[in-house]
Amino acid sequence: MNSPALDVSRAMRPELSGTAVVRLAFAYAAATNGMILTPFLVAAVMLRFHLEEGTATQIAGIEILGIALSCALFPRWISRTARSFTTVAVLGVIAGQVSSALAPSVLLMSAARGFTGLFEGVLFVVVASSISQRASSDSLWGQINLIAGGINGGILVAISYLPEVWLGRWLFLLLAILVIVMSPLVGSIGNFAAVVGSPTAGSGSRLPKKVPLKLVVTIWIVTVLIYGVQSSQWAVVGIVGAHAGLPSSTVGILLSVSSLLGFAGAVIPSQRASHPHRLKIIWTAQLTMIGSIVWFFGSTDTWSYFLSQLFLNAAFFVVIPFLTGLLSEVDPDGSLVARTVVITFIGAGLGTAVAGSLFDRYGASHFAYVLCICIAAASPFVWFALRGATAHITKGATQQLPS
């Protein structure tokens, strides 16, 4: 007689090899560096075309819009023909970055960023499809975040030390070269994508193809709250640094290094042994985020500013792979995870939009308390999400047993 755990494992698609995970991590790095490097992309556009920050931010936002369009509108189409789309996406991202470096006008730069974002979104969809309904999804996402975070975090630190005059063109060429170097490994990730409707019914998964709506909405609520808090805090880091007496150049370096080291938080969800303890780990990470936020907004020197930001980043990357893994467990083809990207943009956009006014109205300490309340409010939804995901997977596995 089979144990429930064994039945659930057999209902999922098989785990990926280490080489496959590295390939997906490289693709994920290429797909997300536009989001992670946004402050430097904004600075590059400002420097190159002598624009104000608001206009440059809108141009950088066109890339985010391109990612959102691919993830929201075309995920199932992309998943069904993932091999062809992967090749096109790699070439498209390279072409977009080179075009951004050569664009002679603001209009062409905007078009180049949107073009780049569309194909970055395609890569994200293929990665999401490759992880869908696989055993140990949260572990896979933890490994991918860890490797991709090391790549993008390393770029972030390297760029922070570059002379400002180099940013305008060399940043985009650097990103193009990075994708070219990774392309031999990234180009074949379409082989790992789920193919819903094929004779293998999802490339090995025997779970129900119907998505549990209540579970998805619950995870989306947590996603909006967590990303909203993170983006709100990030929106005022310069102001907090100035209050702590730190020059802007020092703030940039500290944030870059803390971002690079913060990806180490993904080590925890990357371990299979963490899976049975997800609820405790996520709640502990949320408590760490709360403590780090209070510490950060009360920072008065370099070390308190840096360490509080480091702990906050690390806790964030403990939570995110678990949330994404929950979605992947019930996602038949990657479209659910892909569309959740749009939800993260909504959360991040709302957080950024209200951060300045709330900070000015309530001051640093009370603003910190508002963010802490939002994190605490996500805790019961984490419990509901974990409970719902377990029930859905167990029910699907049980239905596959012979009578």
pLDDT tens digits, 215-270: 999 999 999 999 999 999 998 998 999 999 999 889 988 998 999 999 999 999 99
Q: Which two tokens stand for residue 189?
A: 């990730």
pTM of model > 0.95: no
Q: What is the mean pLDDT of each run of 10 residues along the chain (403 residues)?
A: 50 87 97 88 90 88 94 94 96 97 95 97 97 92 96 87 80 94 95 68 54 90 95 92 91 90 96 95 98 96 96 97 94 93 92 90 94 97 90 65 46
The whole-number pLDDT of residue 207 equals: 57
Same domain, 155 and 30: yes
Backbone angles phi, psi at 151, to 5 degrees: -65, -55
DSSP for residue 14: P
User: Nearest CA to 79 among 339, 329, 320, 327?
Assistant: 339
The whole-number pLDDT of residue 199 equals: 41
Q: Is residue 218 part of a domain?
A: yes
Long-range contacts, stretch 242-249, CB < 8 angstroms, 24+ apart: 243/364, 244/299, 244/300, 244/301, 244/302, 244/304, 244/305, 245/300, 245/301, 246/302, 246/305
The whole-number pLDDT of residue 6 equals: 46
95: burial class by Cβ within 10 Å (0-12, 13-18, 19+)?
middle
Same domain, 187 and 218: no
Same domain, 18 and 71: yes
Buried b (16+ CB within 10 A) or exposed e, 295-307: bbbebeeeeebbb
Determine the structural domain holding residue 131 and report its residue range. 12-192
Same domain, 162 and 294: no
Same domain, 188 and 313: no
Q: Is residue 44 part of a domain?
A: yes
Q: Which of 192, 221, 256 is the last residue of a domain?
A: 192
Provide the CATH number for the domain around residue 152: 1.20.1250.20
Same domain, 185 and 219: no
The whole-number pLDDT of residue 403 equals: 43
Same domain, 174 and 231: no
The whole-number pLDDT of residue 177 equals: 95
Q: Which of 136, 159, 192 is the last residue of a domain?
A: 192
The whole-number pLDDT of residue 344 equals: 94
Q: Is the dihedral of CA 381, 274, 340, 152 positive or negative?
A: positive
Same domain, 137 and 274: no
Same domain, 165 and 283: no
User: Nearest CA to 328 among 135, 44, 156?
Assistant: 135
Same domain, 307 and 174: no
Residue 53 CA to residue 66 CA, distance in Å, equals 20
Q: Is residue 150 part of a domain?
A: yes
Same domain, 223 and 176: no
Number of structural domains the chain divides into: 2
The whole-number pLDDT of residue 160 equals: 79
Contact yes or no for 71/339 (Cβ under 8 A): yes
Residue 11 CA to residue 208 CA, distance in Å, equals 10
Q: Which of 192, 227, 253 is the last residue of a domain?
A: 192
Q: Is residue 90 part of a domain?
A: yes
The whole-number pLDDT of residue 389 equals: 81
Q: Is residue 5 part of a domain?
A: no
Q: Is residue 173 part of a domain?
A: yes
Same domain, 298 and 171: no
